[in-house]
Amino acid sequence: MTDYEYISMVKSTIVRSQRPSWLLPIIRAGNRALSALAPRLAASRAERMFLTPPRARRPAGERALIASAQARTVPIGDGSHVETWTWGSGPRVLLVHGWGGRGAQLGAFVEPLVARGFSVLAFDAPGHGASEAGLVTIPQMVAAVGAVAAHHGPLGGLIAHSVGSVVAARAMFEGLETRRAVFIGPAADLVNPAVRFTDMLGFSRRVGQLMHERIARRIAMPWSAFSVPELAPALKAPLLVIHDRDDGEVPWQHGRVITHDWPGAQLLTTDGLGHRRILRDANVVSAAAAFISAAVEEGRAPGLPAGRERRAPRPAAAV
């Protein structure tokens, strides 16, 4: 079985329901009934649910981190705004969070990058964190990345997590310039999360297809426009993909597919870190910071030829 076949069979779970687990059986039963009786109405409901990111209380560590930053509100061109934070001075490194995430989730990268002479820029995408709530599409997140980068100046690097990697790749395809990029636990596309989402909530496959069509009409773009493997051949920035073998939300094969199709990309495989703890692992942070810092060395990260794969040391213990 190829990686492409595997990721089409094993669906990622990066788009999650906000409902408590005890309520899910009731929601599933209702959605199954609605799917059978009124599939188009069910598709409208599924679309609203899919495009509403989960929101969670910001942990104390994140609150302390953003309190130390220079905060700024940036307009993104559709009448809405996003909140941004910067630390340090020097070439900008943009942090791009995933669906339902927040910029400060990538906070472990701030101090090491600032110590290397970079300015670190984080933001909460539309519908996420401190930015305005509501329905949000991936093109809106792409537009936000472009607006934030344009507002704060040229990028020396970019670090993205999960669906943030889809957003970053699309922004780069549309002209966003960065010297280097690091994708951590990246999703290869959005189709797999959408199928998993409708299945998880009890909608029929017919309703899932109708939702797929509704969203394509809403954004006036095909879903293939957000397939990183399809975008990758046109993208020239050196890329390091870091993906964990035990990622329970986005299978490791997503990262390997991206690496295969992105010219000169490199894959660093970790073990035992999952989808989120990987963002706080010292070895991962060090590897990403070193790769971003190596922008002056064209086409390679320190000690790793382009197109090659390596494995990171196992974490000492789970936390």
CATH of the domain at 261: 3.40.50.1820
Q: Are residues 170 and 240 in the same domain?
A: yes
- Token digits for 225? 């426009």
Identify whether the C-beta of residue 245 lies closer than 8 Å to the C-beta of residue 287. Answer: no
pLDDT confidence of residue 309: 63
Domain limits at 21?
A: 17-53+192-225
Identify whether the C-beta of residue 279 lies closer than 8 Å to the C-beta of residue 248. Answer: no
Strands (E), 70-225: 70-75, 81-87, 92-96, 119-124, 155-161, 181-184
pLDDT confidence of residue 172: 98
Q: Is 34 exposed, middle or buried (0-12, 13-18, 19+ CB in 10 A)?
A: buried
First to last CA, the chain: 33
Strands (E), the chain: 70-75, 81-87, 92-96, 119-124, 155-161, 181-184, 239-244, 266-270, 309-311
How many domains does the chain contain in total? 2
Q: Is 37 exposed, middle or buried (0-12, 13-18, 19+ CB in 10 A)?
A: exposed
Which pTM does this prediction carry?
0.88
Q: Are residues 212 and 110 in the same domain?
A: no
Distance between alpha carbon 23 and the CA centroid of its chain, in Å?
27
- Per-position pLDDT tens, the chain of length 319: 565 555 555 555 555 555 667 788 999 999 999 999 999 999 999 999 999 998 888 899 999 999 999 999 999 887 889 999 999 999 999 999 999 999 999 999 999 999 999 999 999 999 998 888 889 999 999 999 999 999 998 999 999 999 999 999 999 999 999 999 999 999 999 998 899 999 999 999 999 999 999 999 999 999 999 999 999 999 999 999 999 999 999 999 999 999 999 999 999 999 999 999 999 999 999 999 999 999 734 434 444 444 556 666 655 333 2
Q: What are 47-74's pLDDT values in tens digits?
A: 999 999 988 888 999 999 999 999 999 9
Identify whether the C-beta of residue 135 lies closer than 8 Å to the C-beta of residue 141. Answer: no
pLDDT confidence of residue 134: 87
pLDDT confidence of residue 217: 98
The verdict on residue 314 lying in a domain is no
Rounded to whole angstroms, how far apart are CA atoms 94 and 149?
8
Q: Which of 168, 139, 164, 165 is nearest to 155 (CA)?
A: 168
pLDDT confidence of residue 87: 98
Identify whether the C-beta of residue 88 lies closer than 8 Å to the C-beta of residue 119. Answer: yes
- Token digits for 73? 């509100």
Q: Are residues 87 and 162 in the same domain?
A: yes
pLDDT confidence of residue 23: 85
Q: Are residues 143 and 231 in the same domain?
A: yes
pLDDT confidence of residue 14: 57
Q: Is 162 exposed, middle or buried (0-12, 13-18, 19+ CB in 10 A)?
A: buried
Rounded to whole angstroms, how far apart are CA atoms 297 and 62?
33
Q: Are residues 196 and 250 in the same domain?
A: no
Q: Are residues 107 and 34 in the same domain?
A: no
